[in-house]
Amino acid sequence: MIKSNNRIRHSDVPVPRVGDVSAKEGALHRLLRWRIVARVAAICVLIGTGLSAQVQPSCTTIFTVVTKDPLNNFKQGLSANDVKWFRQSLTKKYSGVCYAAPAPTVPVVFFISVTPAVYHGTRVERRTSTHSGPVNGTITEQDGSTSQVNGTVETTTTNSTAVPYSFDYGVYTLSVERRRIDGKFDVIHRFQQKGLYRAIYGIPLGGRGHHPIHAVIEDATKWIYKGGLSDPLQGALELPQD
């Protein structure tokens, strides 16, 4: 058996001191704190980048949209299809007026409320009927002879009747609201469009009433493009009934 002369002494094992443990914990806390600060800063940069990506450098007025339906449900922002419609149809037409997703920094809000209404009208219903009846007569020829004629004749009559009818539709009111310094909003102007449109056999013929939200957004965008926000004579009481 070989015996080792190497013995472990207590003085050879490093014993951590209280001051050393506190220093290490402090360093660990500082490292974690800096990591948290770095992550928060990165998130803020990403948010700022996303917001700036929505707003083009050529934008002079930025707005967002909030919609309230008849059941008082609120929807913030436009759908992807509506955003595509705005960019394709209005961006070049009214340059400088830009849509952005809802954010506390957006200064102008298009607040759209939908109010239920009932349309009362009349439609004309036509009914056609055909009746057959006997016909009896005498025919006199040029030479003075006569002959009897017996047969039937069909008579067609058409009657028109006005029938009342009704259906529900929505009235879309857009309020152009501008954010104040205290965070509240002032209503600058209003636009309105009824959700009524003509159709043949259930097929819409188009028109403003077929897409009422598009109609009021275009009206408000055009108004801002022509300087409505900077015109002190513009009122908030005008409600066009198109």
* Digit-coded pLDDT (tens) for 142-201: 777 777 777 777 788 888 888 888 889 999 999 999 999 998 999 999 999 999 888 787
* Digit-coded pLDDT (tens) for 94-106: 999 999 999 999 9
Sequence-distant (6+) residues with CB within 8 A of 71 are: none
SS3 40: helix
pLDDT > 70: percent of the chain? 71
**Rounded to whole angstroms, how far apart are CA atoms 112 and 33?**
45
Statement: residue 30 has pLDDT above 70: no
* Digit-coded pLDDT (tens) for 71-96: 999 999 999 999 999 999 999 999 99
Once rounded to an integer, what is the mean pLDDT over residues 223-236?
A: 79
Average model confidence (pLDDT) across the chain: 78
Would you place residue 23 in the very low, low, confident or very high pLDDT band (cuts 50, 70, 90)?
Answer: low
Task: Find, among 191, 200, 221, the residue nearest to 85 by Cα.
Answer: 221
Count the alpha carbons within 13 Å of 221 in the hemisphere toward its beta carbon: 24
Once rounded to an integer, what is the mean pLDDT over residues 53-59?
A: 63
Sequence-distant (6+) residues with CB within 8 A of 126 are: 158, 159, 160, 161
**Rounded to whole angstroms, how far apart are CA atoms 170 and 116?**
5
**Rounded to whole angstroms, how far apart are CA atoms 130 and 177?**
63
The H or E element that residue 27 is part of is: helix 18-54
* Digit-coded pLDDT (tens) for 113-146: 999 999 888 878 888 888 777 777 777 777 777 7
Sequence-distant (6+) residues with CB within 8 A of 109 are: 63, 64, 65, 66, 176, 177, 178, 179, 185
Task: Find, among 119, 118, 117, 115, the residue nearest to 70 by Cα.
Answer: 115
Statement: residue 1 has pLDDT above 50: no
Higher-confidence residue of 185 and 30: namely 185
**Residue 172 is encoded by which pair of tokens?**
């879309």
